[in-house]
Amino acid sequence: MDADTGVLLPTNHRQSLVAWFSLYMGLEVGQPLSNTFKAKAADLTRFMEYFSKQTGGDQPDQWTPSVSKGFVSYLRKTKSAHSGQTLAPSTINRILATLRVAARWVHRQRPFLAGYPLEKVTDIPTEEPTWKGLTDVQVTRLKSAAEQLLKINKRANQTAVRDKAMLLVLLGTALRVSELANLDIEKYHDEHLHRVQRKGNNITERVFVPQEARDALESYLAVRGREAGPLFRSKTGKRMAIQNIAEVLNRIAKHANAEAPAKEAFSVSPHDLRHTALRRMAEKKGIQFAQKMAGHSSSHYIWRYVQPSADQTEKAVDELFD
């Protein structure tokens, strides 16, 4: 135990930035299998790959603001492995946010020689994000499409009853798709989802399921049965993957668009449903209710979901003095 910092770290590792990052991840970030842990680990690994190439090792005192600024320049030229495009400003800013928190933690334990290494390293300017929610008409069309698919697929082993339940639970609770996928059947009872694992280490004791979603969920459970296991299952009984849930919504949207004019066609993702639910809650009950529904411990992140769209802002300005 180091007498000055109170942090357990072998003396021979005190000059290893990798060792400090590993200690930080283990003590501060939480469960290694969580998506948050994996994302932060990937961000720090990306930085360490750059850092070791630039400095020839992982000596903490080699990390200076100049190195951090060089890393930002490097990120701005880096292409995404998925899209082939350069990293989006929001992605770079997320990596920097991870790095800032880790650097501050290390700096408190053993101050860097040149001071806090992200001093005056600023985020990349981003364009105003577009709102990703759905209109009232689009929501109605999705619900109608899910009901129609129930009639088309009448066999009890068909998935339409499950798909409708997933659509309405996502829309009615504003859960993230990962949170929905991780639910087990015992989490649902007494009109609520209980002890829902949120992003990171947060747990929400109760998430209310509104009546329309409960009705759809009960219909699904009448087909699924009440045996233990994942709440939403594939045909083979396995837990639904995030990609599977996205495909379900695409299938419902495709049916919703089938008879509509081409210009009114729309796509939908689980995140669109989350945006829609949180916007509705903010508009009807206020930002505090939306924050609670979102499962955020801070109000900082809720604004991305509830800010007005450009069209809504323009309409409000036009009607300002009517």
180 membership: H or E segment, kind and range: helix 177-181
Same domain for 102 and 209, yes or no, is: no
Has residue 183 been placed in a domain?
yes
Summarize the confidence of residues 126-131 as an average pLDDT: 65
Same domain for 156 and 38, yes or no, is: no
In SS3 terms, the chain reads as CCCCCCCCCCHHHCCCHHHHHHHHHHHHHCCCCCHHHHHHHHHHHHHHHHHHHHHCCCCHHHCCHHHHHHHHHHHHHCECCCCCCECCHHHHHHHHHHHHHHHHHHHHHCCCCCCCCCCCCCCCCCCCCCCCCCCHHHHHHHHHHHHHHHHHCCCCCCCHHHHHHHHHHHHHHCCCHHHHHCCEHHHEECCEEEEEECCCCCEEEEEECCHHHHHHHHHHHHHHCCCCCECCECCCCCECCHHHHHHHHHHHHHHHHCCCCHHHCCCCCHHHHHHHHHHHHHHHHCHHHHHHHHCCCCCCCCHHHHCCCHHHHHHHHHCCCC
pLDDT > 60? residue 3: no
Same domain for 226 and 304, yes or no, is: yes
Has residue 54 been placed in a domain?
yes
| AA identity, residue 82 | H
Same domain for 146 and 284, yes or no, is: yes
Same domain for 149 and 261, yes or no, is: yes
pLDDT > 50? residue 92: yes
Has residue 127 been placed in a domain?
no
Number of domains in the chain: 2
Same domain for 277 and 169, yes or no, is: yes
Has residue 197 been placed in a domain?
yes
Residue 196: phi and psi, rounded to 5, are -80, 125
pLDDT > 70? residue 52: yes
Single out the residue in 94, 109, 124 at which a domain terminates: 109
**More confident: 164 or 11:** 164
Choose the weakest-confidence range: 115-124, 192-201, 305-314: 305-314
Question: What average pLDDT does the chain have?
Answer: 88
**Chain centroid to CA 220:** 26
Summarize the confidence of residues 198-224 as an average pLDDT: 91
Same domain for 98 and 140, yes or no, is: no
Summarize the confidence of residues 10-16 as an average pLDDT: 71
Q: What is the pLDDT of residue 309?
A: 66
Summarize the confidence of residues 83-92 as an average pLDDT: 87
Q: What is the pLDDT of residue 48?
A: 97
Burial of 277 (0-12, 13-18, 19+ CB in 10 A): buried
pTM: 0.62
Summarize the confidence of residues 47-53 as an average pLDDT: 97
Same domain for 146 and 68, yes or no, is: no
Count of C-beta atoms within a 10 Å radius of residue 180: 22
Summarize the confidence of residues 24-42 as an average pLDDT: 87
Residue 94: give the domain boundaries. Answer: 11-109
Residue 48: phi and psi, rounded to 5, are -65, -35
pLDDT > 90? residue 15: no
Has residue 65 been placed in a domain?
yes
Count of C-beta atoms within a 10 Å radius of residue 161: 21
68 membership: H or E segment, kind and range: helix 65-77
Q: Which residue from 26, 231, 144 is spatially nearest to 152, judged by alpha carbons?
A: 144
Rounded-to-integer distance, Cα 18 and Cα 57, Å: 10
Has residue 29 been placed in a domain?
yes
Same domain for 104 and 230, yes or no, is: no
Q: What is the pLDDT of residue 4?
A: 40
Residue 207: phi and psi, rounded to 5, are -120, 115
pLDDT > 70? residue 64: yes
Percentage of the chain exceeding pLDDT 70: 86
When pLDDT is cut at 50, 70 and 90, the band that residue 193 belongs to is: very high
Single out the residue in 109, 128, 159 at which a domain terminates: 109
Is-contact 175 219, C-beta < 8 A?
no
Same domain for 218 and 266, yes or no, is: yes
Edge to edge, the sheet with strand 203-208 lists 188-189, 192-197, 203-208
Q: What is the pLDDT of residue 2?
A: 40
Q: What is the pLDDT of residue 49?
A: 96
- CATH of residue 256: 1.10.443.10
Has residue 118 been placed in a domain?
no
Is-contact 295 202, C-beta < 8 A?
yes
Choose the weakest-confidence range: 12-21, 50-59, 66-75: 12-21
Q: What is the pLDDT of residue 199?
A: 78
Single out the residue in 64, 94, 109 at which a domain terminates: 109
pLDDT per position as a tens digit, 275-321 = 999 988 988 888 888 888 988 655 666 666 666 666 667 777 777 67
Is-contact 268 252, C-beta < 8 A?
yes
Has residue 22 been placed in a domain?
yes
Same domain for 269 and 146, yes or no, is: yes
Same domain for 18 and 64, yes or no, is: yes
Q: What is the pLDDT of residue 31?
A: 78
pLDDT per position as a tens digit, 224-282 = 999 999 999 998 899 999 999 999 999 999 999 998 899 999 999 999 999 999 988 98
When pLDDT is cut at 50, 70 and 90, the band that residue 1 belongs to is: very low
When pLDDT is cut at 50, 70 and 90, the band that residue 5 belongs to is: very low
For 56-67, b where at least 16 C-beta lie within 10 A, e where not — what string?
A: eebebebbbbeb
What DSSP string runs through 251-298? HHHHHHHTTS-GGG-----HHHHHHHHHHHHHHHH-HHHHHHHHT-SS
- CATH of residue 84: 1.10.150
